[in-house]
Amino acid sequence: MLTKEDIITEAKRLGFADIGFTDADPFASQKEYLLAHQEEYGWTEAAGFSLLAGTDPKNILPNAKSIIVLLESYFEEAFPLKMERHFGRCYHNDDRVTKDGLALKVKAFRQFLKTNNIDSKVPPHMPHRLSAARAGLGTFGNNCVFYARRVARASSFVFPIAILVDTEYPPDEPTIAIGCPEWCRNACVAACPTRALKGGGKIDPRRCISYLTYYGEGLTPRELREPMGLYVYGCDRCQNVCPRNTPWMAGDKPQNPRVLAKAANFDLSCLLHMDRPYFEKKIWPHMFYMSVDDLWRWKMNAARAMGNSLNPAYVTDLVLAFKENSDERVKSMIAWALGRIGNKEAMAGLEQFSQGSNGIVKEEIEQALKSSAAKL
């Protein structure tokens, strides 16, 4: 039988940053929390993540005996600034669809277990971060993010991958705690633009920009549009301001060639004008939380980010996209973005569109014209 040391050696050989072990007991505190916050987390069931079922490992692997948690350090190489501006870093090199990066390492690790007669499962809906803390790999921040203990200079730029196995291994000492220094005074909570963070390691996920960018329903409410800033998919603000991340962020890193190669495809103008084949070929395989039916949301997010950039160079794009699109959520956001940029060209575009518009689009145009006029 494989020993714990054999497994640790193989994980390190495959390039995982760290590894820990915990038992396969239910995550009772997580279940209790989810049940008490159904209003905030109910959407996860509709989105296909049965978080409640994931709180009992035996629902997933009936003879589960242990959980092996691998840590992947995903920010070893630098990402292009033009990607960091608009997309959460953890998605830049996401290979959950293409399966040509991290997935290959996980597959090799599981194959190693299988060759040694250990059955395993990697359930997406199990609490991976809590598993990591239970396996002694790190602590939480008040921003609800997991921080490594021994690797990546104790930063949050790590993915915990919890693997259920049918073999029992001695568990490591848990480190379930908030590990923030007292002097920080909740920089993350203060910096969260949409007030999703509530302090004490609590969050309202429905107010988080990550949720809002890919699951938010309908036209983004007006009061959230400016706070959501330049983010199009995900958000890193509470990690960027965190002093626990300063040591890792300060280090020089080589460019990530995979992300650099695809960065041009994620240009805001390309996103605003993309058609179905472009989305399916160049975007969805890398950022897949929104299906082709949600193309409108990508465009709405791109238009909002353009507006918040206050960059007059985007006016031409926005005017063209207003004509290209029939979706009223996209058109409404384009009107808002033109009003936010608010120069003469933007105003001319809005006046031109006002004639043939009605309903919510007309209302947004009128609002945008008012805000533009106030600026001129």
**Where along the sequence are the contacts to ligand SF4 (CB under 6 A)?**
141-143, 180-181, 184, 186-188, 192, 194, 196-197, 203, 208-210, 235, 237-238, 241-244
DSSP state of 278: H
Distances (CA, A) of 296 to 31, 176, 325: 35, 40, 9
Shortest separation between residue 202's beta carbon and ligand SF4, angstroms: 11
Shortest separation between residue 56's beta carbon and ligand SF4, angstroms: 27
Residue 87's nearest CA partner among 293, 262, 275, 249 is 262
Rank residues 122 and 230 by Cβ distance to ligand SF4 and give the closer one: 230
Contacts of 189 (CB under 8 A, 6+ apart): 142, 143, 197, 198, 199, 238
CA atoms within 13 A on the CB side of 149: 21
Rank residues 192 and 361 by Cβ distance to ligand SF4 and give the closer one: 192
Shortest separation between residue 28's beta carbon and ligand SF4, angstroms: 25
Distances (CA, A) of 197 to 163, 174, 191, 206, 221: 29, 25, 9, 11, 19
Helix-helix angle 295-309:328-341, to 10 degrees:
10
Shortest separation between residue 143's beta carbon and ligand SF4, angstroms: 4
Rank residues 238 and 315 by Cβ distance to ligand SF4 and give the closer one: 238
Q: Could you give the CA distance from residue 56 to residue 120 in angstroms, rounded to a whole number?
A: 15
3-state secondary structure 23-44: ECCCCHHHHHHHHHCHHHHCHH
Helix-helix angle 315-324:295-309, to 10 degrees:
150
Shortest separation between residue 310's beta carbon and ligand SF4, angstroms: 20
Shortest separation between residue 248's beta carbon and ligand SF4, angstroms: 12
Would you state the structure tokens that stand for residue 147, as one six-digit string? 């921080």
Rank residues 60 and 184 by Cβ distance to ligand SF4 and give the closer one: 184
DSSP state of 10: H
Rank residues 130 and 338 by Cβ distance to ligand SF4 and give the closer one: 130
Shortest separation between residue 313's beta carbon and ligand SF4, angstroms: 26
Would you state the structure tokens that stand for residue 38, as one six-digit string? 């159904």
Rank residues 203 and 347 by Cβ distance to ligand SF4 and give the closer one: 203
Shortest separation between residue 284's beta carbon and ligand SF4, angstroms: 22
Tell me how far apart the terminal alpha carbons of the chain are, to the nearest angstrom.
Answer: 75
Rank residues 209 and 368 by Cβ distance to ligand SF4 and give the closer one: 209
Element (H, E) at 365: helix 359-375
Rank residues 64 and 209 by Cβ distance to ligand SF4 and give the closer one: 209
Distances (CA, A) of 159 to 130, 174, 244, 276, 286: 12, 18, 16, 31, 17
Shortest separation between residue 198's beta carbon and ligand SF4, angstroms: 10
CA atoms within 13 A on the CB side of 96: 13
Rank residues 210 and 308 by Cβ distance to ligand SF4 and give the closer one: 210
Rank residues 173 and 183 by Cβ distance to ligand SF4 and give the closer one: 183
* Radius of gyration from C-alpha coordinates of the chain: 23
Shortest separation between residue 49's beta carbon and ligand SF4, angstroms: 17
